[in-house]
Amino acid sequence: MRFCLLASGSKGNCVWIGAAGGGGSVLIDNGLSCSEFLKRATLAGLPLGGLRDIVVSHEHSDHIGGVGPLARKLGLTVHMTKIAAVSHATRLGPVRLRTFEPGDTLGMGDISLSTMTGSHDAADPVAFVARRGGKSLGLATDLGVVTQLIRRNLEGLDALILEFNHDLGMLLGGPYPFFLKQRVRGRLGHLSNDEAAEALRSLNHPGLRELVLAHLSETNNDPGLARRAAESALAGHGHRPNLTVASQARPTAILGI
């Protein structure tokens, strides 16, 4: 299984997950315009011929803003939870839409996608674990807290995409108004570097090959701070996965497990 983060941050998110050997691929979210998506997919060298589906984690614009146009352009089926679809499907425009419940496992060609309830101020947010051929990839961003459900589902994976959204000191001393600072640091907001690092300490294990730090705030975080927090959490384990810090401005390399 292979994966690539085409964009990660508050201005747009999109994750491509593909089955090695031509078994198809799926997108998680798209907050990019069609032209920007195609530009980044070409830059990353992504094969899009087997792309049939796009799954929405929640309805915030940095995750859903480009879903409808891209689905129409590429003929993709859009998947979102029933609750989110009731209140937000009209934002997609005319698309082929299928709904699911958190906890369902979705079949996406050769990839199975397990879904679980997240913790964020959205209608019905979900996190994911993708599996194919005995390999597994977890995707958990836009979390105010790592619940026991999320933690349990992220254990024992081969790869993990985990939110390292903000440095608490930068957030509290930064330009956001007080109410927004409270929202970001709340239980329905985003994970700080320290909170993500604490979760990572228990999720790291000898089989974890790839770790991606995702959804970094451009205002309230710094890639160096996020990386140091993650490296501190990994220190002393005797095992260190390959570590990538995802960017808002450019795609990651295609990572494989």
Band of pLDDT at residue 23, cut at 50, 70 and 90:
confident
Quick check: 25 pLDDT over 80? Answer: yes
* Residue pair 142/10 in contact by the 8 Å Cβ criterion: no
**What's CA 49's distance to the chain center, in Å?**
22
Count of structural domains within the chain: 1
Q: What is the pTM of this model?
A: 0.97
Q: Domain containing 245 — which CATH number?
A: 3.60.15.10
Q: Classify residue 182 by burial, with Cβ atoms within 10 Å: 0-12, 13-18, 19+.
A: exposed
Using one digit for the tens of pLDDT, what is the confidence trace for 118-127?
999 999 999 9
Using one digit for the tens of pLDDT, what is the confidence trace for 142-174?
999 999 999 999 999 999 999 999 999 999 999
Nearest in space to 214 (alpha carbons), one of 151, 135, 127: 127
**What is the spatial distance between Cα 16 and Cα 111, in angstroms, rounded to a whole number?**
12
* Residue pair 17/137 in contact by the 8 Å Cβ criterion: yes
Q: Classify residue 119 by burial, with Cβ atoms within 10 Å: 0-12, 13-18, 19+.
A: buried
pLDDT of residue 236: 81
Strand partners, 126: 117
Domain that residue 189 falls in = 2-256
Using one digit for the tens of pLDDT, what is the confidence trace for 184-223?
999 999 999 999 999 999 999 999 999 999 999 999 999 9
